Amino acid sequence: MKTLHIALSALLPLFALFAEANAKTIVVCADCNYCMPGDAIAVAEAGDTILIKPGTYYETNIEVDKALTIIGENFPVIDGQMLDHIITVTADSVSIRGLQVQNVGLSFIEDRAAIRIEKARHFKIIDNKVFNAFFAIYAANSTHGIIKGNEVRGEAVEEMTSGNAIHAWYCTHLDIEDNELYGHRDGIYLEFVHHSRIFGNKSHNNLRYGLHFMFSNDDQYYDNVFRNNGAGVAVMFSKRILMHDNLFINNWGRSSYGLLLKEINDAEIFHNIFDTNTLGIFIEGSNRITYRENDFLRNGWAIKMHGGCTDNHFTHNNFLQNTFDIAAEARGVDNSYDENHWSEYTGYDLDKDGLGDVPFRPVKLFSYLVNQTPESIVLLRSPFVGLLNFSEKASPIFTPTDLMDHTPLMKPFSRDQKIQ
């Protein structure tokens, strides 16, 4: 039995070689035997490669139902003429590379997509361009896929009539990397997506969120840039998410924020930069989260924390030039702020250990008042408010007394420090 096993495993590469030799390449071009990608797919067998030559192909509802490699040469255009789905992948191990897929019409009945992956495993969607699609890349019930290096440009005007650039639903083990996504409703939308990594993406100028998590657990996203979106990233109803080394910049507007945490448990947020957002992090009902070594620069509010947050720990963060550092509606349970650097801190350090000798209270009286009565924001930058903040700082009465950093850092925390 064992010998048979060994013999078989020795033969296996041979089989693979045989299959490789058997796999053929089918060329699609205007004057070829197959002038439409759909025709080529119909005759191809699993393992074949379909090479699409430059040109414009008007076709919709192309179903890839066997393990094919589809490669575009110089970005051939597949144009859906605003009609229907363009490519639907229903088989495992399909890879699509180098296509320009464009013009998918809006539908209120189904989620039409330029490239749709349905119940497939080990798919690769790499280096494609998707322009003006309702949904661009849509994965449902699929696992172990790679969506990499795609450029997705939408022409969304309003949230109700637009779709997401990358949309994943009930998926696991996805790698979404190095994509550039703009002009859609959400840059990346994940619902019930677990054990996935999102990294190196640039998501900007989307109407709603740069990245949107719903009910997705055990994911991580890092090295992404979220710029000029309606709001940077929304993480909702998810557990054990790692968020690090991202840049949240210029998510500025009336109801905008860099990062929204809603009903999030056991997350870790570190090494991120929040620059010029109306709200840096907006936290609601989130528990057991550590925030460390992040930079909050020039935000309206660096942190805004609503009720029901316990065990949020802030350490070694830098809060620089924010209009308000922290707004906390209720005093949370077991939230802590230790060894952060606050540019508003005016204390001293007599024993030169790098830690201020006077605790810092990050909640200003005005920020507290604005939380109580939002309309009092009309007094923003009024001299009276300056006076009020000053007197409250001298002898705190209203602001939460237990919300303070007992050991504020005198100098901004630098990450190199950590290595030593």
Partner 1 sequence: MNKILKYSLYDLVRSRWMFFYFGFFLLFTLGLFWLSPDISKVAISMMNIILILVPLIATMFGLMYFYNSREFTELLLAQPIPRQHIFLGQYLGVAGSLSLSFLLGMGVPFLLYGLTASSDIGLFLTLLVSGVLLSFIFSGISFYIALKNDNRIRGFGLAILVWLLLAVAYDGFLLLGLAHFSDYPLEKYALGASLFNPIDLSRILILLKLDIAALMGFTGAVFKKFLGSNLGMIISLIVLLFWVLLPLWSIRRASLRKDF
What is the distance between the alpha carbons of residues 235 and 233, in angstroms, rounded to a whole number? 6
d(CA 68, CA 304): 49
Measured from the CB atom, the residue of 132 and 251 that comes closer to partner 1 is 251
- β-bridge pairing 113-118 and 188-194: unpaired
d(CA 187, CA 153): 10
Instruction: Using DSSP bridges, classify how beta strands 188-194 and 166-177 pair: parallel, antiparallel or unpaired.
Output: parallel
CB nearer to partner 1: pick between 170 and 252: 252
Count of residues in contact with partner 1, rule CB under 8 A: 26
Which tokens belong to 331? 């005093």
Q: Work out how close the CB of 376 gets to partner 1 at its nearest, in angstroms, rounded to a whole number.
A: 5
- The piece of 127-135, 191-199, 248-256, 404-412 that touches partner 1 (CB under 8 A) is 248-256
Identity of residue 10: A
Contact call for residue 377 and partner 1 (CB under 8 A): yes
**328 Cβ partners below 8 Å, 6+ apart?**
303, 304, 305, 335, 363, 371, 400, 403
Euclidean distance between the first and final Cα of the chain, in Å?
57
Residue choice 2, 14, 350, 374 for contact with partner 1 (CB under 8 A)? 374
Nearer to partner 1, 13 or 374 (CB): 374
Q: Toward partner 1, which CB reaches closer, 198 or 302?
A: 302
Closer residue to partner 1 in complex, CB, 253/359: 253
State yes or no: residue 383 binds partner 1 (CB under 8 A): yes
- What is residue 368's three-state secondary structure? helix
CB of 44 to partner 1, least distance (A): 54
Which of 164, 206, 256, 312 binds partner 1 (CB under 8 A)? It is 256
Site string for partner 1, 276-315 (x = CB under 8 A): --x---------------------xx--------------
CB 230 to partner 1: min, Å? 12
Q: Does 254 sit near partner 1 (CB under 8 A)?
A: yes
The answer to whether 264 and 241 have CB atoms below 8 angstroms apart is yes
The angle subtended at Cα 236 by Cα 232 and Cα 242, nearest 5°, is 75
Nearer to partner 1, 147 or 365 (CB): 365
Structure tokens at 246: 């991202």
- Is residue 369 close enough to count as binding partner 1 by CB under 8 A? yes
Only one of the segments 1-9, 29-37, 328-336, 378-386 lies at the binding site for partner 1 (rule: CB under 8 A); that segment is 378-386
Q: Is 382 in the site for partner 1 (CB under 8 A)?
A: yes
- The β-bridge relationship of strands 318-320 and 135-140 is unpaired
Residue 387 touches partner 1, criterion: CB under 8 A: yes
Nearest to partner 1 of 45, 159 (CB atom): 159
Complex with partner 1: residue 12 or 387, whichever CB lies closer: 387
Nearest-angstrom CA–CA distance, 69 and 50: 6
d(CA 365, CA 324): 10
Strand positions, DSSP E, 202-323? 202-204, 209-214, 220-222, 225-227, 231-236, 242-244, 247-249, 259-262, 268-270, 273-275, 279-284, 287-292, 295-297, 301-305, 310-315, 318-320
195 by Cβ neighbours in 10 Å (0-12 / 13-18 / 19+) ranks as middle
- Taking the least distance from each CB to partner 1, the nearer of 13 and 383 is 383
Minimum distance of partner 1 from residue 162's CB (angstroms): 23
Query: Least distance (Å) from partner 1 to the CB of residue 383?
Result: 6
| 252 part of the interface to partner 1, by CB under 8 A | yes
Select from 253, 357, 391, 406 the one that contacts partner 1 (CB under 8 A). 253
Per-residue binding letters, 32-71, with partner 1 (x by CB under 8 A)? ----------------------------------------
User: Using CB under 8 A as the criterion, which residues of the chain lie in contact with partner 1 when the complex forms?
Assistant: 252-256, 278, 300-301, 323, 369, 372-385, 387-388
